[in-house]
């Protein structure tokens, strides 16, 4: 896997430019969960091509940082003057930075973590969050129709999640305040998207009906990608 991560931008994204649509998608899906205090300390784990880091900067947060184990993604993000660092071990780095961050984003990362390391990794994230801090986790949705497309699109994916399994690992890691929602990819608002959303809703009704009559698991969220909004509440 090291060979793939060392050249991740080249072998997974195949493009040395950010995905501009992600800026709109992240704003529509996630900006409302960010702290009102622009001095809040933010962390993005697994920076990719830096779209979330760019959003953090563009939304007025100066105290942000990204970490990644891939030299390729860090080189790319640094070329855009984004604040990020290369780490050998994300879990170890988090354990060295406890109670530091008001908000942590983990977008399309958890599915890359081996099962035997998942709980330890999430516990380290919890320790790195401040009390009442926010964690946003985005993962491919294996309960969606054709969920296997996202699951196996990247050779470095180790595991897949549905709502229940993601809740299971989060609770085991010590989190209690957990909410899930689908990641909305239709965010531009033009007529084509509106037609697609209508057709999508009809298709999802059909999927839910077939699962109902087959006595199958019938989760609520059918978006290809979903996210968990987690608060590090203190009880």
Q: What's the predicted TM-score (pTM) here?
A: 0.94
Per domain, the residue ranges of the chain are 2-185+223-231
pLDDT grade, residue 66 (50/70/90)? very high
pLDDT at 235: 60
pLDDT at 11: 73
Q: Of the ranges 14-23, 45-54, 197-206, which one carries the lowest mean pLDDT score?
A: 14-23
Mean pLDDT in residue range 190-219: 95
pLDDT grade, residue 186 (50/70/90)? very high
Mean pLDDT in residue range 163-174: 97
Q: Which residue has the higher pLDDT, 150 or 69?
A: 69
pLDDT at 159: 96
- Residue 234 above 90 pLDDT? no
> What architecture (CATH level 2) is domain 2-185+223-231?
3-Layer(aba) Sandwich (3.40)
The answer to whether 83 and 64 are in contact (CB under 8 A) is: yes
> pLDDT, tens digit, for every residue of 32-45?
999 999 999 999 99
Q: In what order do the strands lie in the sheet with 64-68?
A: 84-86, 64-68, 42-45, 101-107, 129-140, 225-231, 177-182
CA distances from 195 to 24, 54, 172, 231 (A): 19, 31, 41, 35
């Amino acid at each position: 896997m090291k060979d793939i991560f060392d050249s991740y931008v080249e072998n997974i994204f195949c493009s040395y430019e950010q995905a501009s649509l992600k800026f709109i998608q992240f704003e529509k899906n996630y900006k409302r969960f960010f702290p009102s205090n622009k001095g809040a300390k933010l962390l993005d784990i697994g920076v990719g091509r830096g779209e979330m880091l760019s959003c953090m900067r563009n939304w007025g947060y100066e105290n942000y940082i990204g970490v990644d184990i891939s030299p390729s993604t860090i080189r790319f993000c640094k070329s855009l003057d984004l604040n990020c660092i290369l780490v050998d071990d994300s879990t170890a780095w988090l354990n060295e930075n406890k109670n530091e961050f008001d908000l942590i984003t983990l977008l399309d990362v958890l599915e890359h973590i081996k099962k035997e390391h998942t709980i330890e990794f999430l516990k380290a994230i919890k320790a790195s969050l401040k009390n009442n801090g926010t964690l946003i986790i985005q993962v491919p949705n294996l309960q969606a129709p054709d969920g296997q497309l996202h699951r196996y699109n990247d050779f470095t994916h180790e595991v897949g999640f549905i709502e229940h399994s993601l809740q299971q690992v989060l609770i085991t890691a010590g989190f209690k305040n957990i909410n899930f929602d689908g990641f909305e990819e239709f965010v531009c608002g033009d007529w084509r998207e509106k037609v697609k959303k209508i057709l999508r809703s009809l298709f999802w009704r059909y999927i839910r009906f077939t699962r109902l009559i087959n006595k199958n698991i019938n989760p609520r969220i059918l978006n290809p990608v979903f996210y968990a909004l987690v608060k590090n509440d203190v009880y």
